[in-house]
Amino acid sequence: MRLLAWPLTNVGNVRSHNEDSYLIDDELGLYVVADGMGGHAGGAHASQCCVEVVSSVVRRGLRGMSSLAEGQRTAAIHDLLAASASEASAAIYDEGQRNSMLHGMGTTLCGMLFYENRCHIVHVGDSRCYLFRQGSSRQLTSDHSWLNEQVQAGLLTPEEAEISDLKHIITRSVGFEREVNADLISVNVSPGDSLLVCSDGLSNYFETEEFGQLVRDHYSDELPQKVADLALERGGEDNITVIVVSVTNGADIRLSAKPLETMGRSVGADTLPPV
């Protein structure tokens, strides 16, 4: 199994700065998107701190993973990813307490760690992860947002939530409080699967089934720009960050990775079946 990843981050049509950050680490099999909040300085700092801490914790924790019995590894990886979110939250919160200019900052977190033949997801906030498999696409994460909680409680319909102007209200974030509980998800993966992780600057303008259609119609390295173009054409009121990861056996000639930065933040606009 081989992983190929393509990122894109764009400031969008309205905002003057980008508070999203992303991480690509092919050596670890780790791919992360973080959408910061708390003003220009605070949001950008929180998201960048988050991806750095998650990367450091995961790198440290994976060193002993191969010594564990196969049946123990999923639980150990879940513990590791939960610890990475917790350490990031504590680091961001503590810095906000020390620096009044950064007080109240926080960030979403959606990260994918591929280990052996499974993808392990750590999720806080309303950034999302999608899976395309065998012609169908599905959303793997569930938003920690006020609107989603209202829908789950039966107080709003999905259609009412879709047109609400309260999409920005999230109920869980990394760094706003010192402790955070992350959602942890694991799915089997195999060649032919494609996964997409993104900030809500994309998902607010993007339907799950559209990912499947785009995967069917375009080369993998074109997908980040194609989905970003959808968000920009439909308003682009927020920063847009996306990473597409294709799982391949190396035989698909469409999957030719391009040189890219492994960690970054843009400051301009140029830049299913069972699982």
Average pLDDT for 231-248: 96
For residue 195, the 8-state DSSP code is E
Give bridge partners of residue 20 from the DSSP assignment: 35
Q: Using DSSP, state whether 58 is helix, strand or coil.
A: helix
Average pLDDT for 191-217: 93
Average pLDDT for 246-254: 72
User: What's the confidence (pLDDT) of residue 264?
Assistant: 60
| Count of all residues that appear for the chain in the document | 275
Average pLDDT for 132-144: 94
Residues 91 and 87: their CA atoms lie apart, in Å, by 6
Give bridge partners of residue 107 from the DSSP assignment: 36, 174
Instruction: Parse the chain into domains and list their residue ranges.
Output: 2-264
| Assigned fold of 2-264 | Phosphatase 2c; domain 1 (3.60.40)
User: What's the confidence (pLDDT) of residue 165?
Assistant: 75
User: What's the confidence (pLDDT) of residue 263?
Assistant: 57
Distances from the Cα of 233 to the Cαs of 12, 112, 190, 206, 272, in angstroms? Answer: 10, 28, 33, 11, 27
More confident residue, 4 or 268: 4
Residue 78 pLDDT > 90, yes or no? yes
Q: How confident is the model at residue 271 (pLDDT cuts 50, 70, 90)?
A: very low
End-to-end CA distance of the chain: 17
Cβ-based burial of 158 (10 A; exposed 0-12, middle 13-18, buried ≥19): exposed
High-pLDDT (> 90) share of the chain, %: 71
Q: Using DSSP, state whether 76 is helix, strand or coil.
A: helix
